[in-house]
Amino acid sequence: MAPDDHQMDLFNSAAVTQPSEPVEPELIPTSARVPVPPGTYASMEKMSEHCNRCHRCGLGATRIKAVVGRGNPQAKILIVGEGPGQNEDETGLPFVGKAGQLLDKILESVGLSDADVFIGNIVKCRPPDNRTPTQEEMDACRPYLLEQIRMVDPGIILLTGASAVKGLVGDKRGITKIRGEWIEWEGRLCMPVFHPAYLLRNQSRDKGSPKWLMWQDMKSVRAKLDELRAESESAPQKI
């Protein structure tokens, strides 16, 4: 097996769930070749300690702060962005710039609050010049995201932009082709949507425009959330 193939194998579910040998947790931030078994972190704070000294890829050399997440760690919706920008790199919080402000307004428009969502990114460190994360960078950081998904245990994952879709579920289709389409992944429902930064560059609200399509997608997400909540409330209680 070629070295690159071996590295990629570390990120499939079988390799992560059943590592061939015990993993030393302190080695996790040092190399992308070290897998992150489920249950490694008891909290976002514990994972953040590793993220802020992580060098699993080259982004660790240029970051100011790792951007782990914000919101409710028991939320029903987990929102995945692409990567931190300058504001996020400086504050250590995701989606706090103009795109983040728009995201908050979008969520509010369908009656969602901070209590309903947890927000993170495919990569925890800012790519230089806000470029798109490379596949190598996404692969190196993906185990952290998988741990976040395990800890939050959301029913719905909102994937904002093509990098989020590609980085988590591996679908390489363009976001204009896949947005609004429910994808089942690991027993969860994923919805690809436009990244808020894209909407800032496309201000039209006309029917068929990106903003109009985003509105349709978010209404679908809200309806699905209500459906999942109703199913949960009607399910027999365990004794």
121 in any annotated domain? yes
pTM of the predicted model as reported, rounded to 2 decimal places? 0.88
Helix (H) or strand (E) segment spanning residue 78: strand 77-81
Count of structural domains within the chain: 1
**Structural domain for 184, as ranges:** 3-232
Evaluate whether residue 134 is within a structural domain.
yes
pLDDT of residue 162: 95
Question: Does 211 map to a domain?
Answer: yes
CATH of residue 216: 3.40.470.10
Is residue 239 a part of any domain in this protein? Answer: no
Provide the pLDDT for residue 238.
61
Cα distances (angstroms) measured from residue 213 to each of 21, 132, 181, 220, 223: 47, 23, 12, 11, 15
Q: Which of 5-14, 64-73, 117-126, 151-160 is predicted with the least confidence, judged by mean pLDDT?
A: 5-14
pLDDT per residue as tens digits for the range 159-188: 999 999 999 999 999 999 999 999 999 999
Q: Identify the pLDDT of residue 7.
A: 39
Q: Is residue 238 part of a domain?
A: no
Within a domain: 213: yes
151 located within any domain: yes
**Burial class of residue 166, CB neighbours in 10 A (0-12, 13-18, 19+):** buried
Query: Domain for residue 237, yes or no?
Result: no
